[in-house]
Chains A and B, each alone.
Chain A
Amino acid sequence: MAKLTFKTDNCKGCGLCVNACPKGVLSLAADKINKKGHHPVEAVAPEKCIGCAFCATMCPDCIIKVEK
């Protein structure tokens, strides 16, 4: 299983990472609002992460760190 770390405060909730993820790991947190006022991304199914880094590749704000 791979590990994802988010700089949540820099997330703008654009959702490009959510769409890029092939495993349905990510979702925008409908019940959370970060400092910028966005619903930030969170890993709702972290156990499914395969560490492909598609999410980080598409993140325009470089907030995702991927480790394996």
Chain B
Amino acid sequence: MADKVLMKGNEAIAEAAIIAGCRHYFGYPITPQTEIAAYMAKRMPKIGGTFLQAESEIAAINMVYGVASTGLRVMTSSSSPGISLKSEGLSYLAGADLPSFIVNVQRGGPGLGGIQPSQSDYFQATKAGGHGDFRMIVLAPASVQEMAELTVHGFDLADKYRMTSMILADGTMGQMMEPVSLDFKIAEPVEKPWATTGTQMKREHNIVNSLFLSPDVLERTNFERFKKYDTVCENEVMYEEYMMDDAEICIAAFGIAARVSKNAIVEARKRGIKVGMIRPITLWPFPEKQFAAAAEKVRAFISVELSMGQMIEDIRLAVNGKAPVTLCNRVGGMIPSPDEVLDAIIKVSEGGNN
């Protein structure tokens, strides 16, 4: 076990990306994720990599598209309004089946919103990353250690499935400092015969492209891509169960909301309320089987979110009417306190089925 170092969440992502072999970073300043860019600006020149401050988020994501086309590991990071600008590029990356790694350190919205933590880009990340039918692997860390681990994992998954994987964090996760172990196992490099690195006059030319003017061909590429997504759903779901063995109430929460909820669960247990938590680590693929299974055991779900209730829709779909699902939320950069979550638990345990 390697020594731990004290790092900010944003810095942990940056260092983990370098350890994962990423040598190309393109970004545009936006709070609260600028530490990633600052870290890369310092480190990349020292290790023969590229740090480039792009003229916009749109340019940055298209620089990512360029590097991804060559098969090399590449990333960009931003925060909510910046991710909206990148959504064009995310769609093209998906349409061209390119691997890439994106970080969204969310802030409150909509519009310019605020700069405090939020989880209100859940829909955008898991369902509407851009135009057209496509998915991204969405990873939701709840500690600085996970910020680093899921970064390495995110690069591996992106290469394995030729997809974008996105870290969906928030301002708290980005700014908080915790001890981190950076001792990672990196997956074997994936062959990329499709990459545009020059034919060397030895093969037919490779084309990276998302344009398919024949509807039958475009339909086929979509069907094939979604078969790949099925494999991702089958193999790559990650979640944590906390005190679920005897739970009668199940909290669903990710990221910072899960950390707050753990404290509330400990307090509720002291009062004899049997409550546990399922914490999705992959938001897409969503741990729907785990929630469906929990619905056979518990009598109610509470979705704790820093949004007006976005993940709650996926929980309701998974639970399929077998138990009530209520929302406990704060928005706009506000974070629910453990007491607020505890109050929600007590209310549900006292039979408030909403």
Direct A–B contact present (CB less than 8 angstroms): no
